[in-house]
Amino acid sequence: MPLLGTREVASLSNDTNVMPDYNTDPWKLPGASILQVMYEIRQDAMLSLLPPALHPTIPPTVIFNVTDVPESPIGAFTLAEVRVGCRAGARPRGFVSRCFTSTLEAADELGRRWGYPAIACDVRLRKNYEKVTGTVVLNGKTILDVAMMDPAPIGAGDVQYLPNVNLTRVMKDGGAVQRIVQVDPDYVMQKADRGRAQMNVFDTDAWQLAGADAWWPVSASCVIAEIDMPRIRYVFDPAVPALQGLEKVG
């Protein structure tokens, strides 16, 4: 029998943003810098981190992403996500229960358009010759500090990123219901580096990922890319397996 998540998502705090509908226009985000750091987590908690719609990966992982966007329809912003590695049916995905942005407008627009459960706070991506660092500070407390150490160039086509599945709320029949929204941007990679993964701070409670013990570094990369944010194509009910609760949009 395939393993399914056991998380009770009704208790999650995702009331920061509500999607009015699924009719969003695509965005083009040129020149974005993306830091991705992947860690393996202990198997004890892998089912409790995911809703019943999703299968865990074996081994279970968390993926830290900090994306600096210098140009967008709403101006510059930085987005930080911690994604739990998973599968929706057979397809690999990254599950997001909470994320953070550097501006209120970005938190609002990303939530309204693509279901990012985003909160505005101090989010930064810093680059120098010896490392690339992503940090998130919420109410004066550092809740994430991850880095790629000793960057070395690789082929731009050697890096791929998983689509998101974002837990959010959507207006339906006069009320807000929880849904998982699939977000699968297109990335045109222009430059890529890899290095050693380093995690200094990961406040699991702040990310609604209690029990995600990130204990073994897997990989780290940093790219410059053009990101094409898509129209919404698929959503599904978080409480049942993805193939049973799938809704095709449009």
List, for residues 64-94, the tens digit of each pLDDT value.
999 999 999 999 999 999 999 999 999 999 9
Please state, in angstroms and rounded to a whole number, the distance separating the CA atoms of residues 192 and 34: 9
Is the model's pLDDT at 177 over the cut of 60?
A: yes
Q: How confident is the model at residue 1 (pLDDT cuts 50, 70, 90)?
A: low
Domain residue ranges in the chain? 9-248
| pLDDT value of position 15 | 57
CATH number of 9-248: 2.40.400.10
pTM of the predicted protein model = 0.96
Per-residue pLDDT tens for 20-38?
999 999 999 999 999 999 9
**Structure-token match 């990679």, residue found:** 189
Burial 104-129 (b: 16+ CB within 10 A, else e): eebbbbbbbbbbbbbbbbebebeeee
Q: How confident is the model at residue 13 (pLDDT cuts 50, 70, 90)?
A: low
Per-residue pLDDT tens for 179-200?
999 999 999 999 999 999 999 9
| pLDDT value of position 175 | 87
Is the model's pLDDT at 57 over the cut of 70?
A: yes
Please state, in angstroms and rounded to a whole number, the distance separating the CA atoms of residues 112 and 30: 21
User: Mean pLDDT throughout 120-133?
Assistant: 97
Distances (CA, A) of 117 to 4, 43, 56, 221, 244: 22, 25, 21, 24, 23
Q: What is the 3-state secondary structure (H, E, C) of the chain?
A: CCCCCCCCHHHCCCCCCEECCCCCCCEEEEEEEEEEEEEEECHHHCCCCCCCCCEECCCCEEEEEEEEECCCCCCCEEEEEEEEEEEECCEEEEEECCEEECCHHHHHHHHHHHCCCEEECEEEEEECCCEEEEEEEECCEEEEEEEEEEEEEECHHHCCCCCEEEEEEEEECCEEEEEEEEECCEEEEEEEEEEEEEEEEECCCCCCCCCCCEEEEEEEEEEEEEEEECCCCEEECCCCCHHHHEEECC
